[in-house]
Chains A and B, each alone.
Chain A
Amino acid sequence: MEIERLNQVIRGTVEVKRKQRVDIIVDNADIVSALHSLKLFGFNQLTLVTAVDWIEEQQFEVVYVLYSNAQKVVAIVKARIPRENPEIETIEDLYPNANKYEVELTEMFGIKVRGNPDSGKPFLLENWHDLPPMRKDFDSIKYATEHYEARHRKENND
């Protein structure tokens, strides 16, 4: 594969990590066009869509993991979006299996997905009225102790 050619078709930074691994860092607005170019390049499988919460920089990093069956190369597309009112565009038209990953993004990180009809519907969490649980400022221990009864344990086992 001519990985170097990716530089010419994608607006962003293309870094060849290893023989079979490419990292691509793009702007928020270029996610869909970059994924579209990659799909034309032969990256036919979407393995994962997830996000990383960089709370100190007040940013979310959306991560798309793609795989090319023909060339046996993994491409990881990363984009930073602001943490306040985070919104991304859907890629359901390109990769239909992105639907559920995007629903999960909305539920676990609170990232809204424009164009995905299922975004915002309850998927994994039931009866949830708190911050999205995968955010760094969500206090899991506090939530668990408040909501779920703990077993009383003895001070010593003598």
Chain B
Amino acid sequence: MDKEIEQGYNEILESLRKRSLWILHYCTGCGAIELPPTMTSRYDMGRFGIVPFVTPRQSDILIVTGYVNIKTLRRIITSYEQMLDPKYVIGFGSCSINGGIYWDSHSVIKKLDSYMPVDLYIAGCMPRPEAIIHSFKHLMELIDTGKADGYRRYKENYDFYRKNQRKVLGKWR
């Protein structure tokens, strides 16, 4: 009986959670240029309860906008680990999926989800604001159905992620 109550409680929580998602306003690559039109009056993501925010501790979504090089990876992992549960990661653009045009670069990683758990990818170079809004709505569905469990996967497979991070970053902590 307790389990059922807890499950129901979680369902209510998650359906409330999806109504108020705050984005960590940290932009890694060129994809950041598509976010201002999404935020402002033309596309206005505020109508879904999604607003940009400046500190990782109050944010729910980390958008990795574009290529991630070694220097950036260190910073986004630190930011991601500072965020409180529940937290979601959106990989933005083809660079975070498979390296994009930086596939042969000496400093850009090619597969973001081996270093941090990604809930959702948006394909394209660049994705249009419509695609971003669509992905937010999809993320809301994922949260509602309990499928956006990246933060749980990060805890469960911490050794796997840490091993991959050490492989490219060296011993850093």
Contacts and interface: CB of A to CB of B under 8 A. Distances in A.
B98 A143 contact: no
A125 B99 CA distance: 18
Contacts of A124: 71
A35 B168 CA distance: 41
B164 interface: yes
A14 to B, nearest CB: 37
A150 B105 contact: no
Counting chain A CB atoms within 10 Å of each CB, which of B97, B110, B114 scores highest? Answer: B110
A151 B169 contact: no
B107 A125 contact: yes
Interface string B59-101: 0000000000011001000000000000000000000011100
A138 B106 contact: yes
Given A127-B70, A144-B110, A150 B104 contact: no
Contact of B98 (A125, A138, A140, A151): A151
Contacts of B170: 126-127
A149 B164 contact: yes
B160 to A, nearest CB: 12
Contact of B106 (A144, A149, A150, A153): A144
A133 B106 contact: yes
A147 interface: yes
A25 B144 CA distance: 67
B104 A141 contact: yes
B109 interface: yes
A150 B111 contact: yes
Contact of A153 (B98, B104, B108): B98
Contacts of A133: 106-107
B107 A151 contact: no
A144 B103 CA distance: 8
Contacts of B106: 133, 138, 140, 143-144
Nearest to B166: A127
Contacts of B164: 149
A57 B103 CA distance: 30
Contacts of A126: 70-71, 74, 169-170
A144 B111 CA distance: 12
A133 B168 CA distance: 16
A127 B114 CA distance: 19
Interface in A111-140: 124-127, 133, 138, 140
The 3 A-B pairs of least Cβ separation, nearest first, read A127-B170, A151-B98, A141-B104
13 contacts: A126-B169, A126-B170, A127-B169, A127-B170, A133-B107, A140-B106, A141-B104, A144-B105, A148-B111, A149-B110, A150-B98, A151-B97, A151-B99
Interface of A: 124-127, 133, 138, 140-141, 143-144, 147-151, 153
